[in-house]
Chain A
Amino acid sequence: MPSTDVFTTITLQHYLVLSAALFMIGLTGVLLRRNVIVIMMCIELMLNAVNLSFIAFSKFSGRIDGQIMVFFVLTIAAAEAAVGLALIVCIFKRFREVNIRFFEHLKG
Chain B
Amino acid sequence: MTADAFIFWFLSLITLGSALSVMLLANPVYSALSLVMTMVGISALFVTLGAYFIAGVQLIVYAGAVMVLFVMVLMLFDLRAELQAFSRGQISGALKLATVGALAGLIGGALLLSAGNVAEPSMAEAAKLPPDASKALGIVLFTRHIFGFEALGVLLLVIAIGTVALARAKGGTHAKH
Contact = CB atoms under 8 A, between A and B. Distances in A.
A22 B16 contact: yes
A90 B129 contact: no
A3 interface: no
Instruction: Give the interface SS of chain B, mostly helix, strand, loop or mixed.
Output: helix
B46 A75 contact: no
Interface in A60-105: 60, 62, 64-65, 67-68, 70-72, 74-79, 81-83, 85-94, 98-99, 101
A37 B169 CA distance: 19
Interface residues of B, number: 84
A63 B100 CA distance: 32
Interface string B153-177: 0011001101100110111101000
A44 B9 contact: no
B129 A7 contact: no
B99 A31 contact: yes
B50 A59 contact: yes
Nearest to B120: A11
A62 B137 CA distance: 12
Contact of B5 (A10, A62, A93, A99): A10
A1 interface: no
Contacts of A71: 54, 57, 137, 141
B72 to A, nearest CB: 9
Nearest to B152: A75
A103 B150 CA distance: 37
Contacts of A22: 15-16, 19, 38, 42
Contacts of B120: 11-13, 60
Contact of A8 (B2, B39, B100, B103): B2
The 7 A-B pairs at the shortest CB distance, nearest first, are namely A62-B128, A94-B172, A29-B23, A86-B166, A94-B171, A31-B96, A79-B159
Given A67-B133, A94-B171, 7 more contacts: A22-B16, A23-B107, A41-B35, A48-B62, A59-B126, A74-B57, A90-B166
